[in-house]
Amino acid sequence: MKKITTNELTERLKAGKIKPRLRSKLRFNPDNIENWEDMEFIAVFDQNHKEGVILLDNSNHSYVIPFNLTTGLTNKSTGRSNAITCDFCTTWQIGKRAASITIINPTEPNRTFGFLCCTDLDCSSHVRNKTAESVLSRTQLREDLTVNDRIVRLKKNLIKIIENTNIQSL
């Protein structure tokens, strides 16, 4: 991703038809992200880490994808938290780092789409082996893909999610 400013974020949120209620809640400081060029997407959250938008640049297209996040996935019969594999980056995550994400297409608000994901949505760092979770995941899944192959897989998964949710580019 190319670094975007707070003003550019505002423009993107308007162009992406993000509701003012959500826009006003988002916490974004572009300087808190050190490695923009190593990010396939950026998640901007609200204060409670429950709602936000995903900013995604793919070839010449930009997308803004609003979401709700539910953390602490537990198995109803055992009460234990469930481990998941992220639908974005394919990282295996223990229950407390796992979430389900609901994507709402702003132009089709009656349709919602659910996926499983890393709670931090820092999938770009996980595929690059920059996190403890990514090292654990490789062991759990017995995965020997290169970092580059994992980046390619993340990009493909993002394209699939855009297609499935029918989010239009800006």
Q: Does residue 158 touch Zn ion according to CB under 5 A?
A: no
Q: Does residue 73 touch Zn ion according to CB under 5 A?
A: no
Q: What is the DSSP letter of 79?
A: -
CB 131, min distance to Zn ion, A: 10
Please select the residue that binds Zn ion; options are 9, 39, 99, 123, rule is CB under 5 A.
Answer: 123
Residue 68 CA to residue 19 CA, distance in Å, equals 13
Please select the residue that binds Zn ion; options are 22, 89, 101, 167, rule is CB under 5 A.
Answer: 89
Please select the residue that binds Zn ion; options are 41, 88, 92, 115, rule is CB under 5 A.
Answer: 88
Q: Which lies closer to Zn ion via its Cβ, residue 4 or residue 84? A: 84
Residue 136 CA to residue 129 CA, distance in Å, equals 10
Which residues, at least 6 apart from 77, have a Cβ–Cβ distance to it below 8 Å?
none
Q: Does residue 84 touch Zn ion according to CB under 5 A?
A: no
Please select the residue that binds Zn ion; options are 86, 99, 101, 103, rule is CB under 5 A.
Answer: 86
CB 81, min distance to Zn ion, A: 17
Q: Does residue 99 touch Zn ion according to CB under 5 A?
A: no
Collapsing DSSP to helix, strand or coil, 80 comes out as coil
Specify whether the CB–CB gap between 48 and 59 falls below 8 A. Answer: no
Please select the residue that binds Zn ion; options are 43, 118, 161, 162, rule is CB under 5 A.
Answer: 118
> Residues 42-61 vs Zn ion: string with x where CB under 5 A?
--------------------
List the one residue out of 41, 31, 11, 33 whose CA is nearest residue 23: 11
Residue 143 CA to residue 137 CA, distance in Å, equals 8
Q: Which lies closer to Zn ion via its Cβ, residue 5 or residue 70? A: 70
Using left for φ > 0, alpha for ψ between -120 and 50, and beta otherwise, residue 49 falls in left
Residues that bind Zn ion (CB under 5 A): 86, 88-89, 91, 118, 123
